[in-house]
Amino acid sequence: MTDTIPNPESEGPSGGWGSVKSIARILGDDKPSPMVLEELARQNKPGGVMCVSCAWPKPANYHPFEFCENGAKATISDLTSARCTPGFWSDHTVQSLRGWKDYDLEQTGRLTHPLRYDEASDRYVEVSWDQAFDDIGQTLKSLPRESVVFYSSGHAGLEASYLYALLARTYGNNNLPQSSNMCHETTSVGLQKVIGSPVGTVVWEDLEKADAFFFFGQNPGSNSPRFLHPLQEAKKRGAKIVTFNPVVEQGLVSFVNPQSPVDMLTGRETQISDEYLQVKAGGDIAAILGLCKVVVEADDAAVSTGAARVLDIAFIDEHTVGLESFIDLVRSTDWSVIEKESGLTETAIRGAGELYIQAERVIGVYGMGLTQHSQGALNVAMVVNLLLLRGNIGREGAGCCPVRGHSNVQGQRTVGIAEKAKLIPMDKLKALFDFDPPTEDGVTIVDAVKGMMSGQIKATISLGGNLVRAVPDQKAMEEAWASQDLTVVVSTKLNRSHLFPGKKAYILPCLSRLERDEQASGPQSVTTEDSFSHISGSVGKRTPASKHLKSELAIVTSIAKATVAPNPKLKWDEWTADYSLVRDLIEATYPDQFGAYNERMFEPSGFYRGNSAHDRVWKTEEKKAVFTTPKQLNALSFDDAEGRLRLITMRSNDQFNTTIYGYSDRFRGIEGTRDVLLMCREDIRSAGLSEGQEVKLVSDFNDGVRRELAGLKVREHNLPRGTIGAYYPEANVLIAIDHHDELSKTPASKAVPVRIEA
């Protein structure tokens, strides 16, 4: 079916020469240091450096080059020779930079000195580290504890992250939201509810044994390209791949392995998806219900003829609750309703359902296409329903595979960066550090943004990230962020968040993980956790971009020393001198997961910290895996009013979140611009528009607030009717902060209700 999917826009298969050319272009125009290729060769191998881009696992049997196009871009971007020195500010005011694109800010290069915002000149000026920490500490001490937020983006290693969480708690709150609050918090909350584990259950060996992969709203070609290697292997041994995605993503259609000389010379493509179902945005609940209907119908037929059951009855009886009410809904829901809600035909869903039944071992993969919806957690629960029907969780070659974003986003949560107090072993912290940890829950990102808007949040420390640009309601957020008493952003590069300084504002420049981290006891290494819950050591070798940089860990402990009352148990200086002591603390806090941490951190593919659901131990309220009966058949919080469209906010192949490397989205055939509105031909025609026409998008959320994005050029794209696409983060101005997953508060960025104004 896939090979007939028209994708005329694409320049060809993902991977292949296109990928090599794309890296070469970045190498050419980003002025990398000469050591880039050597650095790439060390990537994701034992004793090497763990990629600064995404959280895809590191296989024990690694390739000679275990990196991908986007890992290479992230590496090159960190190793650029361009520098954003204090001198940059003699030519630019903060106000003037607000007109710059994200791409242009990124091109200014690595930050070199700590900076303080000077209101009189509207510029950042150089400041000494000591002065910065002193002022930050004084200000934090003067503020109500609950008014300060400690945000982190998922870059920093486990050691710095553990101490950052300790900083917040010894300061006096659990205000530790993270980038996953905009991302896989739906998984942390939704998956926990139904299988008792907040993270995926599969490990690398499962990829090698699976008979089928079902992809729901995850785009490996752009966002986790090394996933394409095990998928290629899977196809070679006859495994099937089925994709549900409104957009025809090239990486899920075909792949040429850029690291296979034979494939590259012959242009030999591997077809990836056997079935590609272009579900409507927000239509997965109905689509998966349809798959379940195929399974249940086949099982009913087997029962009536006395053939072997299609449901895994032994597993269901022993391990699950809730099947009956779910099956009642499956039986009573008409195909016509499923077709209408999903936008797919019964025939297409039946074809996919047959592949599900034929496969003995199935992995369900998902990403932002499921999590970023009003009913994102229900989407996740539906994937679990499908897997549970045939015992596809906690068994070799099967399981649930949420693909995580930032390189250490999952790990930061593991070691204590969490706003939910019940997730933290507070008794351990109390015993280890002799203080009374705060017991009240902290804020999520949505709460934090609303708190800034209402004036209740007065200061934010950001360990990485670009919060102002990443959150919904971005225009209002810019004002709200700048109204705070203090903003501190620990960064490698200039970004838009820096351009809305609080009354006091600091930019604290840090080392990249690629760089040598020298402390009093010698060179340090750090650790990160990947999507499969494996922990790997990472050794930075490159010369730091500036001699004034500090490590993230050293910045965290310096803020802590300036802020938190002295306590002999809080040995911030000793920990900074030797990170292995911090790993001992992590082990003492989480002994079941981090045993022999320092000894095991350089094991090939990292060490596994375990996962209960992987072993069919269900830490849910019911002590079983839970079938969820969906209360609605789409993932939306609005209906299809006349003229209302569902906007997907998308990533290009030339960006990492708010970092824009360039203007080439070659898989989708979009070059030289990001100001596009993707629509199918029928939608263009029925809206009375034509290709190339400039339009304005306006929000159609039910709160009456005017939100708009102008200057988008209409472009025909292969999409289901009623589903349109524009790029993130540019489109974030259109999303209401109150439009989020009901359970986890993850912003609903994949079906934003909008209208078009010509």
Interaction site with ligand MGD (CB under 6 A):
52, 54, 70, 153, 155, 179, 182-183, 216-219, 222-223, 244-247, 249, 279, 281-282, 284, 367-369, 372, 403, 405-406, 463-467, 470, 490-493, 495, 510, 512-513, 552, 648-649, 651, 655-659, 728-729, 731-732, 735, 749-750
Cα–Cα distance measured from residue 299 to residue 311, given in angstroms and rounded to the nearest whole number: 6
Total residues interacting with Mo ion, rule: CB under 5 A: 2
Contacts of 50 (CB under 8 A, 6+ apart): 43, 44, 58, 407, 513, 528, 536, 537, 538
- Binder of residue 279, out of Mo ion, ligand MGD, none (CB less than 5 to 8 A by kind): ligand MGD
Q: Which residue, 107 or 178, is less far from Mo ion as judged by CB?
A: 178
| x-marked contacts with Mo ion along 349-388 as a string, rule CB under 5 A | ----------------------------------------
CB of 321 to ligand MGD, least distance (A): 27
Q: Which residue, 380 or 467, is less far from ligand MGD as judged by CB?
A: 467
Phi, psi of 313 (to 5 degrees): -65, -40
Cα–Cα distance measured from residue 329 to residue 337, given in angstroms and rounded to the nearest whole number: 12
Cα–Cα distance measured from residue 311 to residue 292, given in angstroms and rounded to the nearest whole number: 10
Name the residue among 216, 183, 177 with its Cα closest to residue 748.
183
User: Following DSSP, what letter does each residue of 159-228 receive, concatenated?
Assistant: HHHHHHHHHHHHHT-----BGGGGTTHHHHHHHHHHHS-SS----HHHHHH-SEEEEES--HHHH-GGGH
CB of 565 to ligand MGD, least distance (A): 26
CB of 231 to Mo ion, least distance (A): 21
CB of 648 to ligand MGD, least distance (A): 4
Half-sphere exposure of 119 (CA within 13 A, CB side): 8
Residue 183 within binding range of Mo ion, rule CB under 5 A:
yes
Q: Which residue, 2 or 462, is less far from Mo ion as judged by CB?
A: 462
Choose the stretch contacting Mo ion; rule: CB under 5 A; options: 242-250, 251-259, 389-397, 403-411: 403-411
Do residues 501 and 482 make contact, with C-beta atoms less than 8 angstroms apart? yes
Q: Which residue, 715 or 750, is less far from ligand MGD as judged by CB?
A: 750
CB of 192 to ligand MGD, least distance (A): 18
Q: Which residue, 220 or 405, is less far from Mo ion as judged by CB?
A: 405
Residue 344 within binding range of Mo ion, rule CB under 5 A:
no
Name the residue among 127, 47, 42 with its Cα closest to residue 86.
127
- Binder of residue 219, out of Mo ion, ligand MGD, none (CB less than 5 to 8 A by kind): ligand MGD
Half-sphere exposure of 360 (CA within 13 A, CB side): 6
Choose the stretch contacting Mo ion; rule: CB under 5 A; options: 86-94, 181-189, 540-548, 723-731: 181-189
Question: Does 720 sit behind a cis peptide bond, omega within 30 degrees of 0 on the bond before it?
Answer: no
Q: First and final CA of the chain: distance in angstroms?
A: 36
Cα–Cα distance measured from residue 219 to residue 214, given in angstroms and rounded to the nearest whole number: 12
Q: Kindly tell me which residue out of 59, 246, 367, 405 binds Mo ion, with binding defined by CB under 5 A.
A: 405
- Binder of residue 222, out of ligand MGD, Mo ion, none (CB less than 5 to 8 A by kind): ligand MGD
Q: Which residue, 252 or 409, is less far from Mo ion as judged by CB?
A: 409
Cα–Cα distance measured from residue 111 to residue 549, given in angstroms and rounded to the nearest whole number: 9
* Site for Mo ion, residues 530 to 549, rule: CB under 5 A: none
CA distances from 156 to 52, 252, 490, 749 (A): 9, 30, 10, 25
Cα–Cα distance measured from residue 732 to residue 467, given in angstroms and rounded to the nearest whole number: 12
Q: Which residue, 405 or 464, is less far from Mo ion as judged by CB?
A: 405
- Binder of residue 498, out of ligand MGD, Mo ion, none (CB less than 5 to 8 A by kind): none
Tokens of 191: 């998956």
**Full strand arrangement of the beta sheet holding 115-118:** 123-126, 115-118, 504-509, 486-491, 459-463, 148-152
Half-sphere exposure of 271 (CA within 13 A, CB side): 13
CB of 549 to ligand MGD, least distance (A): 10
Q: Which residue, 405 or 416, is less far from ligand MGD as judged by CB?
A: 405
Contacts of 339 (CB under 8 A, 6+ apart): 345, 346
- Binder of residue 733, out of ligand MGD, Mo ion, none (CB less than 5 to 8 A by kind): none
CB of 734 to ligand MGD, least distance (A): 8
CB-count burial class (<10 Å; 0-12, 13-18, 19+) for 125: middle
Q: Which residue, 395 or 739, is less far from ligand MGD as judged by CB?
A: 739
Cα–Cα distance measured from residue 90 to residue 406, given in angstroms and rounded to the nearest whole number: 34
Q: Which residue, 75 or 320, is less far from ligand MGD as judged by CB?
A: 75
Q: Which residue, 583 or 668, is less far from ligand MGD as judged by CB?
A: 668
Name the residue among 238, 235, 226, 271 with its Cα closest to residue 252.
271
Please work out, in degrees rounded to the nearest 5, the angle formed at the alpha carbon of residue 272 by the alpha carbons of 198 and 233. Answer: 80
Q: Which residue, 19 or 657, is less far from ligand MGD as judged by CB?
A: 657
- Binder of residue 22, out of Mo ion, ligand MGD, none (CB less than 5 to 8 A by kind): none
- Binder of residue 217, out of ligand MGD, Mo ion, none (CB less than 5 to 8 A by kind): ligand MGD
Do residues 41 and 91 make contact, with C-beta atoms less than 8 angstroms apart? no
- Binder of residue 155, out of Mo ion, ligand MGD, none (CB less than 5 to 8 A by kind): ligand MGD
- Binder of residue 714, out of ligand MGD, Mo ion, none (CB less than 5 to 8 A by kind): none
CB of 624 to ligand MGD, least distance (A): 27
CB of 552 to Mo ion, least distance (A): 19
CB of 261 to ligand MGD, least distance (A): 25
Q: Which residue, 183 or 415, is less far from Mo ion as judged by CB?
A: 183
- Binder of residue 466, out of Mo ion, ligand MGD, none (CB less than 5 to 8 A by kind): ligand MGD
CA distances from 3 to 105, 263, 269 (A): 40, 18, 11
How many other CB atoms are found less than 10 A from the CB of residue 96? Answer: 12
- Binder of residue 465, out of Mo ion, ligand MGD, none (CB less than 5 to 8 A by kind): ligand MGD
Cα–Cα distance measured from residue 77 to residue 80, given in angstroms and rounded to the nearest whole number: 5
- Binder of residue 470, out of Mo ion, ligand MGD, none (CB less than 5 to 8 A by kind): ligand MGD
Q: Which residue, 492 or 531, is less far from Mo ion as judged by CB?
A: 531
Residue numbers at the binding site for Mo ion (CB under 5 A): 183, 405
